[in-house]
Chains A and B, each alone.
Chain A
């Protein structure tokens, strides 16, 4: 084992573990009355860590190929870190008001970072063992995170639902992996690519395995947990689940499909086609009848997952670059939307679309951010989301899936309706008693400013897209 090599390739993970340990120590030696210090430390530590993650990672493998590092993977880790940083900025006020009185401070960050660590291992995995470990490591802390407001019934319910369904999905997935091992005799992705196959058995294993990933991405019909968990869990946790966890799962899905399962391209494109259509329709049909903003965003994120499949189905370097570009934009849009919902819920306790009536008059800047975020999710130019969706369509059309693109366009039309509902409530309607004006804390303000700038700039600043395209060349 070459230690330098280990640190160079696994830099992210090692630093994150160090950060976790450091934060626990800091918490241990901070007196009860001064727990706020822990929050600041956590944010500063993670910010430094995030900055470091932008230093490109070298290419290489560890542990005989179980752990893979590539510039593209390094870039995506950095993107996830940015997302987590933005979520953490929104969480500061919540941790201070809700958790510290309960006697928690570092726990939230330790659990969040552990889950992120799991995702880092997940997208770096080169065999099914690392893949499975990463998936579990990312899932278990989330269950605890979802239960953080355990004094609220819904939060506990969300945690239980998540942990049980995740366990079931893991069991099915593990069974699928063992079937693949049975037919191929290897758990390494690269080996599986080259072995002869026993069609039926491997097919069953394949579908079971993919269903486990689909659960994470919340593709229909593996999505049922999404709405209940997002609604019950603390908003920052829902936010994390809807973007970071989902993004990493999409990334690993592409790795799985494009490397070990390349031979089955004909099969999995059909599967993705079916799942994409189901997911878009079901996500939209449910989203449009929601009153609660968190449930609304949950189903919207289901529908968005369907759109993402439009890119994945391309199966080449173009697919990888468009999907990663879309994920980047999606992270910004959804974190912004959830962020607005979060601060409003925290300051006024209101979560319904009707409560947002007349918001523009009392909180114009928040309303504008909400509008930007929802426009981006809906894909209205010139906000970044438009460019993301446009490239996804282009990828699917490039491969000749015209019907799929047509169905997606129909779905975008449906989604426009419900994305505009909160905007209409906030801007066009007047209310007798709108949500009163409140001041956000400085951390959230900073995060919102970055989000608003990102939503406009990412779409227009083409070198970013070029950079992702260049990193994606590793897939043919």
Chain B
């Protein structure tokens, strides 16, 4: 099978980016830029679906194992031995799956934005950025070399920065864009160090070579120097995970994600819910054989702990937020924590790889329903002109499509069958239960919290009595409601259609069979806690009551802490301002100004002084030039005569 056409999947958005970016002024007439973007993403989407079909159902499975394809690989910079930076395409189950996720969501967001961004001054600019993001994300997903991942990883960060700060006249948008960029860049620094360490200690950047059994066996024999009881390669993996945690907003590097909601809502749906933020999960999955085998899986245990903690931490904060996009942002963080947890608890061979499969499945389903939730939030904000829940209520009768699709998505994220989220979440909890009781317990609790805060959102927006609006809110644009319905249908179906997901994605690429035991206490338990969460939310919020205030008072200080996001932002400010700026930066600045610059000034002054002294040599007189020539020869001969002979 010749997959070389796959290069068009990232190339099409690149072309539309160049077109819209360079010839911006020719796309002044509003929807035209949107059509260009939609056309390129639509084609990429069709190509991605075709690729997935071919790969999973026709050519991928050979002798009971999915084989990787590299239809394109260019040796860009070659170092010694096997170490080289390539630009290539690697097709394997997870990259093909990601291809489908990214193109689907991106295509939907492109369509949706025609309605959402209509009338905005920078319409063409917005589409140029969206295309740039899609190009970078698709290239990241397809990368065959970790350095290539890193390059596009940064490019994804740049496009995220541009899109968060899209409303650059708003100071808060600028601040949020900077915050997101700096925090993720800070994490990426560790990622880069990790990559370089891999290059130094393992000697290759190629993902297939790194994940091969030969390399893993080689690493086991050559662990490199040991630091704090961990081998160099383990450290490298932990550093790489720090990079992933930064992009995926894991505790304590999550502080940028809620602020990133300053960007236009379609951007939040695409980048900060479905694609870019799961890049960290994808990274761990990409190098899963290394994470699992090297250093007895220590790095993987770090992944599991960070993921589990983040899931709980974010879910608690989500309970207390008032801004709907922020609730969704913390919910995203919590769900990504779930995925990390699933990868962390996973085994390797056969059914042991359940966690890995479940994590990837959850990534897949979560992308659909979380993007849907954000797009609905966009419709609501568009209609009500506010992000805050207190300005909403009783919207069900004005906006039925939003209400019904929101309900579907909320049921999905809470884990109610037959919605997509149920299958993946249940499998994660199963994998966690096999691994460690405590992790399972946290996951179980988070499932209940998730159901509660999602339905808190649902009831407060769409029910909770009636309210008077100046202009009756309505869903006006087909371009906006179309994607909602499409994604809602996906949310309803992908769960049971693709179960068992282990037919497609496993750590060893060997499919295994897995059945959900409908009657088992685990499944019933997770459904029960989800229902409990929903019912509590119903009693609290279906009609205006005073239970919420009572509950808040009952939790007292804990509630205040959660509402203020556990003061993480203040902690960061304290560390950067009081410690780094005052104690480190200021003294360094003094040293730089007085000592380093002083030396440079001295060099400059000396240079000018000498230059003034010797200018007489260049007199313009031919005779003198001739004499200098002869002097030169004679002096050189003398030097050699006395030095060498």
Contact = CB atoms under 8 A, between A and B. Distances in A.
A462 B617 CA distance: 43
B76 A462 contact: yes
A69 B532 CA distance: 87
Contacts of B611: 285-286, 288-289
Contact of A270 (B78, B633, B643): B643
Given A161-B622, A462-B77, A466-B78, A215 B640 contact: no
Interface stretch (B1-9, B415-423, B468-476, B624-632): B624-632
B607 A271 contact: no
Interface in B148-202: none
A417 interface: yes
B557 interface: no
A172 B625 contact: no
A54 interface: no
Contacts of A466: 78
A103 to B, nearest CB: 30
B629 A211 contact: yes
Given A286-B611, A462-B76, A203 B631 contact: no
Interface in A186-224: 199-200, 203-204, 207-208, 211, 215, 220-222, 224
Nearest to B643: A270
Interface string B601-618: 001100110111011011
A21 interface: no
A420 interface: no
Interface string B68-111: 00000000111000000000000000000000000000000000
A274 B618 contact: no
A383 B629 CA distance: 36
A270 B640 CA distance: 9
A148 to B, nearest CB: 20
Most buried by A among B600, B631, B644: B644
Contact of B625 (A165, A199, A211, A220): A165
A165 B626 contact: yes
A466 B607 CA distance: 38
A286 B563 CA distance: 67
A204 B630 CA distance: 12
B645 A221 contact: no
A207 B633 contact: yes
A227 interface: yes
Contacts of B644: 203, 266-267, 270
Interface string A271-303: 100100000001011101100000000000000
A284 B637 contact: no
Interface residues of A, number: 39
B629 A169 contact: yes
B571 interface: no
Contacts of B626: 164-165, 168
- Of B624, B625, B636, the most chain A CB neighbours within 10 A belong to B636
A413 interface: yes
A207 B637 contact: yes
Contacts of B607: 284-285, 288, 414
A410 interface: yes
B437 interface: no
Given A286-B611, A289-B611, A224 B618 contact: yes
B190 to A, nearest CB: 23
Interface string B329-368: 0000000000000000000000000000000000000000
B625 A224 contact: yes
B618 A172 contact: no
B641 interface: yes
A165 B622 contact: yes
Contacts of B612: 289
B643 A208 contact: no
Contacts of A274: 636, 639
B603 A414 contact: yes
Residue from B608, B611, B633, B645 with most neighbouring chain A CB atoms (10 Å) = B633
B200 to A, nearest CB: 18
B536 to A, nearest CB: 58
Q: How large is the interface on B (under 10, 10 to 19, 20 to 34, 35 or more residues)?
A: 20 to 34
A221 B603 contact: no
B620 interface: yes
Interface string B47-81: 00000000000000000000000000000111000
A228 B628 CA distance: 15
Interface in A229-278: 266-267, 270-271, 274
A159 B618 CA distance: 17
Contact of A282 (B603, B614, B630, B641): B614
B614 to A, nearest CB: 6
A200 B641 contact: yes
A224 B78 CA distance: 43
Contacts of B600: 413
A161 B629 CA distance: 14
B629 A286 contact: no
Interface in A151-204: 160-161, 164-165, 168-169, 172, 199-200, 203-204
Contacts of B618: 224, 227, 286
B640 A203 contact: yes
A225 interface: yes
B629 A410 contact: no
A171 B78 CA distance: 48
Given A164-B622, A267-B640, A462-B78, A222 B603 contact: no
A274 B640 CA distance: 11
Contacts of A462: 76-78
Interface in A427-475: 462, 466
A203 B645 contact: yes
A164 B623 CA distance: 10
Contact of A221 (B608, B629, B639): B629
A267 B622 CA distance: 31
A315 B622 CA distance: 35
B632 A222 contact: yes
Interface of A: 160-161, 164-165, 168-169, 172, 199-200, 203-204, 207-208, 211, 215, 220-222, 224-225, 227-228, 266-267, 270-271, 274, 282, 284-286, 288-289, 410, 413-414, 417, 462, 466
9 contacts: A161-B625, A207-B633, A211-B633, A221-B628, A267-B640, A270-B639, A270-B640, A274-B636, A414-B603
Given A224-B628, A267-B644, A282-B614, 12 more contacts: A161-B622, A161-B625, A169-B629, A172-B630, A204-B637, A224-B625, A225-B625, A270-B640, A286-B618, A289-B611, A413-B600, A414-B603
What are the 7 closest A-B residue pairs judged by CB atoms, nearest first? A221-B632, A224-B625, A285-B611, A207-B636, A207-B637, A211-B633, A221-B628
